[in-house]
Amino acid sequence: MANQTALFVALFLLVLVAKHAEARHTRLVPAVFVFGDSTVDVGNNNFLGTRKEGRANFPQYGVDFPTSKPTGRFSNGFNTADQLAQLLGFAMSPPAYLSLTGRKLRSQMFKGINFASGGSGLGDHTGRLVVGEVIPMSLQLEYFATVVEHMCETAGSKKTASLLSRSIFFISVGSNDMFEYSFSRSNDIKFLLGLVASYKYYLKALYHLGARKFSVVSIPPLGCTPSQRLRRLAQMGTQGCFDPLNDLSLRSYPLVAAMLQDLSHELPGMAYSLADAFTMVSFVVANPKTKDWSFTELEAACCGAGPFGASGCNQTVPLCGNRNDHLFWDGNHPTQAVSGIAAQTIFAGNRTFVNPINVIQLAML
d(CA 282, CA 204): 30
pLDDT digits (tens, 9 = 90+) for 180-225: 999 999 999 999 999 999 999 999 999 999 999 999 999 999 999 9
pLDDT digits (tens, 9 = 90+) for 145-168: 999 999 999 999 999 999 999 999
| Residue 10 pLDDT greater than 80, yes or no | no
To the nearest whole percent, how much of the chain has pLDDT over 90?
91
The pLDDT value given to residue 348 = 98
| Residue 9 pLDDT greater than 80, yes or no | no
| Residue 67 pLDDT greater than 50, yes or no | yes
| Residue 247 pLDDT greater than 90, yes or no | yes
In Å, how far from its chain's centre is CA 339? Answer: 9
In Å, how far from its chain's centre is CA 11? Answer: 22
233 vs 2 pLDDT, higher one: 233
Mean pLDDT computed over every residue of the chain: 93
Segment 280-305 mean pLDDT = 96
d(CA 156, CA 65): 37
pLDDT digits (tens, 9 = 90+) for 295-335: 999 999 999 999 999 999 999 999 998 999 999 999 999 99
- Name all contacts of 106-111 with Cβ < 8 Å and 24+ positions apart: 106/150, 106/154, 109/147, 109/150, 109/151, 109/154, 110/30, 110/31, 110/151, 110/155, 110/163, 111/30, 111/31
In Å, how far from its chain's centre is CA 140? Answer: 15
| Residue 89 pLDDT greater than 90, yes or no | yes
Segment 30-42 mean pLDDT = 98
The pLDDT value given to residue 151 = 97
d(CA 48, CA 132): 9
- Say which of 37, 82, 311, 333 is annotated catalytic: 333
The pLDDT value given to residue 6 = 42
**Residue 160 vs residues 165, 167, 294: alpha-carbon distances, Å:** 8, 11, 44
The pLDDT value given to residue 102 = 86
- Say which of 41, 177, 276, 330 is annotated catalytic: 330
333 is catalytic: yes
Partners of 354 in the β-ladder: 275
Closest of 140, 76, 143 to residue 105, by C-alpha: 143
- Say which of 20, 37, 38, 82 is annotated catalytic: 38
| Residue 16 pLDDT greater than 60, yes or no | no
**Preceding amide of 336 cis, omega within 30:** no
Q: Write the DSSP assignment of 324-363 as a string of letters.
A: GGEEESSSS-B-HHHHHHHHHHHHH--TTTEES--HHHHH
The pLDDT value given to residue 1 = 39
> Side-chain half-sphere of 97: how many Cα atoms within 13 Å?
24
38 is catalytic: yes
| Residue 140 pLDDT greater than 90, yes or no | yes
| Residue 248 pLDDT greater than 80, yes or no | yes
d(CA 330, CA 143): 29
To the nearest whole percent, how much of the chain has pLDDT over 70?
93
**Domains recognised in the chain with CATH numbers:** 29-221+245-285+347-364 (3.40.50)
The pLDDT value given to residue 25 = 62
